Structure 1
Amino acid sequence: MSTWTREVRFGHAELRADAERPGGWLLTVNGIAQSYIDLDDPTYLELEYARYLGYVVDSLAPADAPLEVVHVGGGGATFPRYLAAVRPGSRHLVIEADAALAEFVDERLGLRSVPGLELRLGDGMTEIATLPTASADLVVADAFEGLRIAAGITDAAFTAEVARVLRPDGVYLVNLVGTRHHLDDIRATFPYRAMLDGDVFAGYIGNQVLAAARVPLPLDALYRHVEHAFPPVRVSSEGPDRPPARVAPGA
């Protein structure tokens, strides 16, 4: 099995080949899984949070339309690779704070070779503030320091910049871990929200993905996408024109 390692800004990074799946690579930092990349099939999403992101984007109509996407946090660029495959012509700005990690992934797995991808090294808040107003269909915040979401991702200043950069019907996706997050600023800015998680087995606490927008989310389409998911996915939705709704397909 091939394994490559590198010291990066936030610790010790490792890329390990998947002996069970040709083309598969697991990226970890300090032993914590960050990304799973399948170079042969970028539509394959191994990690649950990546599948949650996929369920939301696959629910947006029209299904094959290219998107303008800002990714805050790069990792192995699993999701840009996925979108490049399922929505050809999409353009991706990847903002990565860990330059050494980005170079490591680029050197070994061709980060900059992803179609439509532009890599920008720097702090997420600093860089997103430089982007044009109403220029993105999707902003994906997937930035961590160890097991904690990067500082500032859910606060008022960053949320305001995300809202400014998104088009009026754009969607904000946030990768979260655990169940305790201060999301008041996101709730105040984006009235329509859906939370996806796999917390359907006793004692399990894993990643959650929050989808937020200023217009109603395509919940019926989202429910159809998660209906047959395994492990089962729970969706919790909120909006000003409906009470909180909860579904747990397959549970």
Structure 2
Amino acid sequence: MNDLDEDPIPVTRTVDSGTARLLPDIDRERAWLLTIDGSPQSYVDLDDPRHLEFEYARRVGHLLDLVAEPGAPLRLLHLGAGALTLPRYAAATRPGSRQHVVDLDAALLELVEEHLPLPAGSGITMAAGDARAALEAAAPAGADVLISDVYAGSQVPAHLTTLPYARAADRALRPGGVYAANLADAAPLRFLACQLATFGAVFRWLALVAEPAVLRGRRFGNIVLLASQHEMPLRELARRCAGDPFPARVVHGPRLERLAGQARPVDDGDPVPSPEPPDGAFSIG
């Protein structure tokens, strides 16, 4: 019998990346928080996959709503699984979408599949593997949206920050496709500057979505990087993000150039992971 058939109780399991816990939300009947080593990774409401609890996920959800006509199916490649929050969202809002999810942590995928099962006919497939290797092996021009939400512990792995990686992302996207990455940084925003320089060397259009305090370097936090070879629906995205419980700003154009400053694109010879968050930035008790 699945744990979800009874009163929900926390689930703890050692996975490849640490100690994973599934914690039930007492305010939502079949909603769960996934943590790894105490750091929140994903939030899923099995009864309402359209509900996006985490702010960065909500911002990517707005993008998914806007990249095509409402309800039109998409092809999506997800690097990083968590509890499959965004794949579930896309399956619910765009029925018929074909989605592939890659995560290095095979034991985590098994845990999620066992305790937070996908609905029948979701169109979501999963595989264990390295994100960059999977991206480089992906069919050219096969994805409408490529979402990267990969963390090794609390940092974006260095090999997912370089020019060859950005070029592989470009090859995997269809014309008009969009790359979206969940990054994290704080003052002086050097990691973000290097990512702007790196993806700006490959993609014609870039944008950032984050809370103003994060973009000003006042605190550590998530920043969504968007990249495409075609213009993106940034005006409507900005309107939706401004109306969220924790409003975010969409930044593009000259301000991005100021944020990038004199940063140079990162090559495979000198990659660096994203900075370590300060103690307590994302952890829970």
TM-score of the superposed pair, with normalisation by structure 1: 0.91
- Quote the sequence identity (%): 38
Structure 1 stretches of 4+ with a deviation exceeding 4 A read 111-114
Q: Pick from 232, 235, 247: which aligns with 1:217? A: 232
Query: Measured at CA, do residues 143 and 113 of structure 1 come closer, stay the same or move farther in structure 2, by a change above 3 Å?
Result: farther
**Contact (CA 8 Å) 1:59, 1:225: kept in 2 or not?**
no
- How many residues end up aligned between the 2 structures? 241
Q: Structure 2: give runs of 5+ residues left out of the alignment.
A: 1-7, 257-285
Structure 2 distance, partners of 1:146, 1:13, is 12
How far does residue 203 in structure 1 lie from its aligned partner after superposition?
4.3
Query: Measured at CA, do residues 73 and 24 of structure 1 come closer, stay the same or move farther in structure 2, by a change above 3 Å?
Result: same
Structure 1 distance, partners of 2:212, 2:33, is 23
Larger helix fraction of residues? 2
Partner of 2:106: 99
Partner of 1:195: 208
Partner of 2:45: 38
- 1:1-251 map, 5 Å: 2-111=9-118, 115-179=122-186, 180=189, 181=191, 182-183=194-195, 184-200=197-213, 203-238=218-253, 243-244=254-255
Larger strand fraction of residues? 1
**Contact (CA 8 Å) 1:193, 1:210: kept in 2 or not?**
yes
Query: Measured at CA, do residues 3 and 178 of structure 1 come closer, stay the same or move farther in structure 2, by a change above 3 Å?
Result: same
**Contact (CA 8 Å) 1:27, 1:35: kept in 2 or not?**
yes
State the SS of the aligned residue for 1:210: strand
Query: Measured at CA, do residues 113 and 122 of structure 1 come closer, stay the same or move farther in structure 2, by a change above 3 Å?
Result: farther
State the SS of the aligned residue for 1:75: coil
Residue identity opposite 2:255 in structure 1: P
Largest Rg, 1 or 2:
2
Residue identity opposite 1:200 in structure 2: A
How far does residue 218 in structure 1 lie from its aligned partner after superposition?
1.1
Q: Structure 1: give runs of 5+ residues left out of the alignment.
A: 246-251
C-alpha distance after superposition, 1:111-155 (max 9, x if no partner): 585700011111111112221111110100001012101231121
**Contact (CA 8 Å) 1:156, 1:185: kept in 2 or not?**
yes
Structure 1 distance, partners of 2:210, 2:10, is 31
Q: Which has the higher contact order (CA 8 A, sep 6+)?
A: 2
Structure 2 distance, partners of 1:139, 1:155, is 16
**Contact (CA 8 Å) 1:80, 1:114: kept in 2 or not?**
no
Structure 2 distance, partners of 1:190, 1:22, is 43
How far does residue 169 in structure 1 lie from its aligned partner after superposition?
0.5
State the SS of the aligned residue for 1:186: helix
Residue identity opposite 1:244 in structure 2: R
Query: Measured at CA, do residues 87 and 217 of structure 1 come closer, stay the same or move farther in structure 2, by a change above 3 Å?
Result: same
Query: Measured at CA, do residues 113 and 6 of structure 1 come closer, stay the same or move farther in structure 2, by a change above 3 Å?
Result: farther
